[in-house]
Amino acid sequence: MLSAESIQKIEYELTKYPADRRQAAVMSALRIAQTEKGWLSKETISFVSSYLGIPDIAAMEVATFYNMYELEPVGKYKITVCTNISCMLRDSDSIVEHLNHKLGIGFNETTPDGKFTLKEGECMGTCGGAPLFHINNTRMCEFLTPEKVDQILEELN
């Protein structure tokens, strides 16, 4: 179900915990699975839970509790814009509007070409760089202006 490379990464995570505490690695295992598959289908979650030897529902609880797991397919690039207070004060609204306009989609929508998904995020612990968004849970883009947004989108296209 998962590539050898992903399994190897999960195995690395498992080394961080006592041998009889495999559940501890579920957060990373789901993250690794999502990175490979793009999102977490119920089959993927079941695979992870059986790989770790925990009940499916226990993995499901985790997958649904944390915001960065995707339980529905998303575009190739998931752009999560922080709209929390510090970003809001520095006009994240205009960034959101710009993205809406530019991509033609609202929050929780994906462009027809399957390239971009837009999400609203909570505080990302990077408020000094507001306004900001991150891409695919990994790349943080700070001090955004509409021009900078265009540049980033250009680069991704």
* Least Cβ distance, residue 113 to other proteins (angstroms): 25
Question: E-strand spans in 25-100?
Answer: 77-82
Which residue of 1, 7, 23, 100 would you call a contact of other proteins, by CB under 8 A? Answer: 23
Sign of CA dihedral 6, 108, 67, 59: negative
Instruction: Determine the interface stretch with other proteins among 3-11, 97-105, 106-114, 135-143 (rule: CB under 8 A).
Output: 135-143
Rg over alpha carbons for the chain, rounded to the nearest Å, is 17
Which residue of 1, 127, 152, 156 would you call a contact of other proteins, by CB under 8 A? Answer: 127
Query: If we measure between CA atoms, which residue out of 48, 56, 39, 54 comes closest to residue 7?
Result: 48
Rounded CA gap, 139 and 76, in Å?
14
Q: Which of residues 27-56 bind other proteins (CB under 8 A)?
A: 27-28, 30-31, 42, 46, 52, 54-56
Rounded CA gap, 75 and 47, in Å?
23
* Tokens matching residue 88: 């809001």
User: Site for other proteins (CB under 8 A): how many residues?
Assistant: 53
Q: Which of residues 81-110 bind other proteins (CB under 8 A)?
A: 83-86, 88-90
Q: Does the annotation flag 141 for ligand binding?
A: no
* Tokens matching residue 139: 């790349």
- CA angle in degrees (0–180, nearest 5) for 114-120-126: 115
Residues annotated within the binding site for [2Fe-2S] cluster are 82, 87, 123, 127
Annotated binding residues: 82, 87, 123, 127
State the residues that interact with other proteins by CB under 8 A. 16, 18, 21-28, 30-31, 42, 46, 52, 54-58, 60-62, 64-69, 83-86, 88-90, 121-130, 134, 137-140, 142-143
